[in-house]
A = this chain, B = another copy of it.
Amino acid sequence: MVDDRLNLPFTGLVSFMRVPTCTDLDAVDADIAILGAPSDEGSPWKPGARFAPRKIRELSIKYAGYGPDQHQLGYYDIDENRRFLEYERRHSRIVDCGDCDIVYTNVRRTFDNITHDVRRLLDAGVFPVVIGGDHAVTYPVVRAYSERLNVVHFDAHMDYRPFVHGVQWANGNPIRNVARLKTCHHIVQVGIRSLRTRQADVEDSRARGNDIVTIPDFRRRGPRAIVDLLPPDEPVYCSIDVDVLDLPLVPGCASSEVNGLTYDELRQTLLEVNPMLDVPADNTSQLAAQLIIEFLGRLVEHPGYRKRHPMRSATRAPRDHRRSRGRAKGR
């Protein structure tokens, strides 16, 4: 069905890539859900990541295609000469669920809201893509999963600070929080390089058995090495702080650092890893929008994903969501 509107990116109400919206998380009928977690109380320097989900949505519209003839559902990769996300966009298999409710001055309750929302999506067999907010939100997202998973953490910083001085839920703590979850198996931390890195955090992380891949490590061993560090055929959760990218790529990011990954290095690694679960993209920038879209484009082509979300014709009768997903080990 062709829309006769031009739909320039500065017009119209906003949702991620202009996909349908559904703010009632108990009524989601889709494969993939965009969910914002606009919390930034955990930021020790410039706050403002709270505006990231809204800004990323607005910028994602540039990739929605526009014009009656120009309509291109999904996107086209000129280097590979093929299309991605076309099916999903056409059949509304992606929805935008809006944002988790944020309770300012009460981070615990905010985190409960995030976990609750993600869990509702998981229970409905929907694949959640969570957009922060600062990196603290990774913990409440990951704890929503009931299955065993491994974590790949892209970041310039360890995010592994101990819980002292009454601070446990800030953006320096999430990976330490995640590491204590029973469901969390192996953790790989990629891109760590900040001068602010604490030696004790590095030691604690390694003591747990986590792998830390610095930028020189990464350059030496290549993206494939990240995959080799993960147990084969197990779910992988991907957490991306955009400051893993090099400083000039993310000038709007309050914690950006020199000597980071190029966009292509991160992209290639994501394609290698092919995480089966989800990606919270913290912080702000147009790169985040593009990264999410490219990530989704490859994700839905992955055999593991397709097995769980088989293609359906648009006219197919409403299916039983939960059964068709099945995330448990029995799958």
Contact = CB atoms under 8 A, between A and B. Distances in A.
Contacts of A13: 13-15, 21, 23, 96, 98-99
Contacts of A105: 41-42, 107, 136, 167-170
A195 interface: yes
Contacts of A104: 6, 8, 41-44, 167, 170
Most buried by B among A72, A100, A287: A72
A294 interface: yes
Contacts of A212: 78
Interface size class of A (residues with CB under 8 A): 35 or more
Contacts of A251: 248, 251
Contacts of A47: 40, 47-48, 50
Contacts of A36: 11
B164 A54 contact: no
A102 interface: yes
A87 interface: no
> What copy number does this chain have within its complex?
6
B167 A106 contact: yes
Contact of A12 (B40, B98, B170): B98
A249 interface: yes
Interface in A1-38: 4-15, 21, 23, 36, 38
Nearest to A251: B251
A120 to B, nearest CB: 14
Interface of A is mostly: loop
Contacts of A58: 54
A48 B45 contact: no
Contacts of A249: 247-248, 258
A198 interface: yes
Contacts of A258: 249, 263-264, 287, 290
B165 A68 contact: yes
A101 B164 contact: no
A10 B50 contact: yes
B202 A78 contact: yes
Contact of A70 (B9, B164, B169, B262): B164
What 3 A-B pairs come out closest when comparing CB atoms?
Answer: A248-B248, A69-B164, A47-B47
Given A13-B21, A41-B104, A105-B167, 13 more contacts: A10-B38, A11-B36, A11-B98, A11-B99, A12-B98, A12-B99, A13-B23, A62-B196, A65-B196, A72-B199, A103-B165, A105-B107, A195-B293
Interface of A: 4-15, 21, 23, 36, 38, 40-48, 50-51, 54, 58, 62-63, 65-70, 72, 75-79, 81, 83, 96, 98-107, 109, 136, 161-162, 164-170, 172, 192-193, 195-199, 202, 212, 214-216, 247-249, 251, 258-259, 262-264, 287, 290, 293-294
